[in-house]
Amino acid sequence: MVGQSPWANQGFPDSIPEVRIWVENHRLDGAWGPLRPGLAEDSLCFGPEITLGQTLLAAMPNDTFVMVKVAWSATSLAVHWLPPSAGGPGERYSWMLDGVSKALADLPGSPPLFDGFFWMQGENDGFYDSTSNAYAARLASLVLDLRRTWNNTLPIVVGLIDLQPAWPYASVIREAQVGVSDAFSNMGYVETAGLGTDGVHYTADGLKALGRLMGERWLELKGYRSTPVSARYSWRVHSHGNLLLWFNKEAVPATIRFVDIDGRASAWATCPNPLNLSYGRRHAFRSRFVQLRAHDGTIETLRIPAIWR
């Protein structure tokens, strides 16, 4: 969420005045200003906040958005972000609440409703067996504590961590993130498999895609997306026991691939309509997700029903 990729030559506007942002980190003392590049690791870099803001504005052009970015690199939920109900608060958790309070106190007018929380974290917890196995419980505590503090129905979007050799328990973290997102209402996740990285951090293309995906997921949670997934795709069980993924005529994607829980993905292939996943008999799928790529390059991630995995 910090962002460590240069923003030069990425085609960003100098600023996006419809989005006001307060940044609380090691480099920038909090102050309100328009959303702009340079609010990341250093003034030459950007984070997913740019395309997140652009995605929300494109869907709701008459609205004004207010963001608080509180992000530090190389932190864990087990220590730094540990929520109070899980034995915390961790130092960064406290800094986050303090930063948000300072931002609200400096914002003119009535305080706005807390209407979204975006979480891209978990890699450091994926270094160790103990912290990865405890991640689900700690993430659930984070959700409960934030909702008690800010908004009981706070929409929360989680980015699944990427599969990299640096964190050997990535699949455990990803499973926890999916499970917790499924367990809570008004909460969802985005698949990050295939987004550009340098092996540790997201590249410029990866950061732009991450922000867009998070924005689209928030729009789905809020009901602002005009054609939700359920209206475009459906699972059907054929009389022979085959599992079919059926697409509405106008939603047939260009290509398709399968993604495992650890982030490994198959090659993109032409997608028939309907797609037969079981080929005549029921069996366990290693893959947890189906990714559909449309002709315009946008990607939709669907989860294969549990009974077929």
Query: Block means of pLDDT (10 residues each) for the chain, length 309 residues?
Result: 93 94 79 93 93 94 92 95 98 95 89 92 96 98 97 96 88 93 93 85 93 93 68 68 71 79 81 68 58 76 70
Whole-angstrom distance, CA of residue 146 vs CA of residue 259: 31
pTM, to two decimals: 0.82
- Residues composing the chain: 309
Domains defined for the chain, CATH in brackets: 5-222 (3.40.50.1110), 229-308 (2.60.40)
The encoded tokens of residue 232 equal 């475009």
The rounded Cα 293 to chain-centroid distance in angstroms is 18
pLDDT at 223: 85
Whole-angstrom distance, CA of residue 189 vs CA of residue 219: 12
Whole-angstrom distance, CA of residue 64 vs CA of residue 56: 10
Whole-angstrom distance, CA of residue 300 vs CA of residue 227: 12
The encoded tokens of residue 221 equal 């949670």
pLDDT at 282: 42
Whole-angstrom distance, CA of residue 151 vs CA of residue 19: 21
Q: In whole angstroms, how far apart are CA 277 and each of 115, 167, 309? A: 37, 31, 11
Is residue 291 within 8 Å of 263, Cβ to Cβ?
no
Q: In whole angstroms, how far apart are CA 231 and each of 74, 142, 169, 236? A: 39, 32, 35, 14
Is residue 90 within 8 Å of 80, Cβ to Cβ?
yes
Is residue 138 within 8 Å of 77, Cβ to Cβ?
yes
Residue type, position 17, single letter:
P
28 Ramachandran zone, left/alpha/beta (phi>0; psi -120 to 50): beta
Residues in CB range of 176: below 8 A, 6 or more apart = 122, 132, 135, 136, 139
Whole-angstrom distance, CA of residue 269 vs CA of residue 292: 10
Q: Tell me if the bond preceding 274 is cis, omega within 30° of 0.
A: yes
Is residue 77 within 8 Å of 30, Cβ to Cβ?
no
